[in-house]
Amino acid sequence: MPPLNAKGVRVVKITTPSANKKAPTHRIYLGRSEVGSAWPKSTDDDRDYLSLTFDFPGLVAPVYAILIKDTEGDGYSAYWSRSKKPVFE
């Protein structure tokens, strides 16, 4: 499989929140395609971040990431991992 070109990824806040407390608050888009969702979380030291889940047919397995503001306040950093569970059990 060729590498994924991730230019143009956008994290967009959902304007009409769901009544379901577990529903995502953001959608993730690559171009016009929705490729994931995000939920707000906080670290143990009270830093806010978004917990991201990417899952679309071009991926072998879902990708889990966090997007957190840099401590200097100049931008954001993303950290990701893959699940160790098999896709089909």
77 forms bridges with which residues in the sheet? Answer: 68
The predicted-structure confidence for 23-58, as pLDDT tens digits, reads as follows 999 999 988 889 999 999 998 988 899 999 988 887
- Tokens representing 76 are 């954001």
Tokens 């569970």 belong to 85
Q: Name the residue among 38, 60, 58, 37 with its Cα closest to residue 50.
A: 38
Chain-wide mean pLDDT for the chain?
Answer: 82
The dihedral through the CA atoms of 24, 11, 30, 4 has a sign that is negative
For the chain, give the percent of residues with pLDDT over 70: 85
What is d(CA 71, CA 33) in angstroms, rounded to the nearest whole number?
A: 31
Q: Is-above-0.85 flag for pTM?
A: no
